Amino acid sequence: MFFNSIVYFFFLGGVFTLSWLATERIKIRNFILLVASLVFYSAWDPRYLPLIITAVFITWISAGKISASSNKKTRKLWLFLGIFTALSILAIFKYASFSVTSASYFLDIFGLEPDFNTRILKKIVLPVGISFYTFQAMSYTIDVYRNDLKHEKSFLNYALYVSFFPQLVAGPIVRATDFIPQVKKQVKLDRELYAKGVILIIIGLFKKVAIADFIAVNLVDRVFESTAMMSSLESLVGVYGYTLQIYCDFSGYSDIAIGSAALLGFYIPKNFDAPFISTNLSEFWERWHISLSSWLRDYLYIPLGGSRNNTKWRTSRNLMITMVLGGLWHGAAWTFVFWGTLHGIGLVISRWLGFNRLHKERKPLPLKIFAVFLTFNFTVFAFIFFRAATFNGALQVLKNIARLEMSFVNLPITVIVAIIAGYLIHLVSGSVLKKITNFYQKIPLWIHPLLMFAFAFFLQKVAVTDVVPFIYFQF
């Protein structure tokens, strides 16, 4: 069930109606939302429903045992069990085939003849959303262990936190400290909350359908899948187009998720904040996929030692480990590992040169503009390896660009317009969004369905033939 499908909005409308009818009975409302979330997940493939239920149950039990014990060894044992369960599910379904295939490749290099039976592994399908809900379950267990959070005694509330359908499949990764208190409160649907939800959903759909899908089908996919047929100019524009595509695709999903949650009375923090105007990579990761970057910082980078009271080399090591594993989190392929490695190297160099705090210091405007230019183009270059299916495919795109052919026969003007529009939309600030929301809130209610119909008609005209899945569904 995709956010950019009619089925989803019928589903959301039904859940919206039922949950608000039960708003005065919090437990009933939460039960309705939990059932709806499990139905939403089952719509993809009901066979994988036991996975999320297992992750929820064992991490909840583990956190309860941690909370109930004052013995350090016992607490560590249950922490290990909770994390081990979540990581085992992730490892088996996401990394087992990759690990065996990689081991076979390296053994073959050294003249050994591995005899791994990979037929069963190749049949394993990556369950949708597994990277997101396992990280949420892990963070909850760790927070309880650190005494940063009290164990939630209601299994219903905890299960809803992990499986809440708006952000279940592709985030944002929500912290229990932010979400669980909300499930215990009674909220009222007012026009401000309603307007915020609707406007975010509209913006998200526009980013996804009118920008991301449009430039993907009409340019980006051709550049990466039929490289030899594209000129250098077309390939170069396609690379910048993919950077915009993944931003509009994923931030569009996040907007729809946050908007859907708002319509149901829940607040989810923003996940993107104009990342392409970053003056350095540290700032980029404060603006890009904020929920993941903050998760990696709090649960991996800082526990490794972070940068406080550390030598330059240890800080560099911690950055590299964090970003390499962050790359691997995105996908079970060496291209993703290399993408993470590139960002790790970039962060290390940025820190060594003192650029990591450039966005927090007063510097001449020309210097900051140059820094934005360098940071943006570095991220564009790294995304080539993120998008390409293989290293050879990425190198072919780079070689194609290096030929300096200026033909643009495969570069429609509509694609150029979409790319320019997308980068301009990327710059829209929170204050502008608030003004749009206020305007929508104040117009007569009878105009709302007319605007909805007009927007749906527009999307139908610009949409590609088939519903295109969100990019982060594969992670």
- Give the model's pLDDT for residue 4: 79
| 357-368 per-residue burial string, b: 16 or more CB within 10 A, e: under 16 | ebbeeeeeeeeb
- Which of these is catalytic: 330, 343, 359, 426? 330
Percent of the chain with pLDDT over 90: 57
Q: According to the model, what pLDDT value does residue 227 have?
A: 85
Residues 199 and 340: their CA atoms lie apart, in Å, by 34
pLDDT in tens, 86-132: 888 888 888 777 766 666 666 666 666 665 555 655 566 777 888 88
Residues 159-188: what's their mean pLDDT?
Answer: 91
pLDDT of residue 399: 93
Average pLDDT, the chain: 88
pLDDT in the model for residue 322: 95
- Whole-number Å distance between alpha carbons of 219 and 104: 36
Asked whether residue 4 is assigned to any structural domain, the reply reads no
pLDDT value for 467: 67
> What's the pLDDT tens digit per position in 324-372?
999 998 887 889 999 999 999 999 999 888 877 777 777 788 888 899 9
Instruction: Classify residue 245 as exposed, middle or buried by CB count within 10 Å of its CB (0-12, 13-18, 19+).
Output: buried
* 202 shares a domain with 161: no
Q: Are residues 133 and 276 in the same domain?
A: no
**pLDDT over 70 percentage in the chain:** 92
Tally of domains in the chain:
2
435 within a domain of the structure (yes/no): no
**Same domain membership, residue 269 and residue 197:** yes
Quote the domain boundaries for residue 102: 24-186
Question: Per the domain annotation, does 457 fall within a domain?
Answer: no
Claim to verify: residue 77 and residue 200 sit in the same structural domain? no
Whether residues 165 and 232 share a domain: the answer is: no
Range name among 10-24, 215-229, 294-308, 350-364 with the lowest pLDDT average: 350-364
From residue 473, alpha-carbon distances to 141, 230, 270, 422 in Å are 25, 28, 19, 21
Same domain, 162 and 200: no
Pair (355, 312) in one structural domain: yes
Least confident piece of the model among 30-44, 187-201, 273-287: 187-201
Same domain, 280 and 162: no
pLDDT value of position 365: 82
Residues 59 and 90 in one domain: yes
Residues 6+ apart with CB under 8 A from 347: 281, 282, 285, 319, 323, 356
Together in a domain, 160 and 201? no
Residues 176 and 220 in one domain: no
The residue from 133, 161, 186 where one domain ends is: 186
pTM: 0.91
330 is catalytic: yes
Residue 444 covered by a domain:
no
Out of 20-29, 76-85, 350-359, least confident range: 350-359
- 123 and 212 belong to one structural domain: no
What confidence category does residue 278 fall into, taking pLDDT thresholds of 50, 70 and 90? very high
The reported pLDDT for the residue numbered 94 is: 80
Structural domain contains residue 462: no
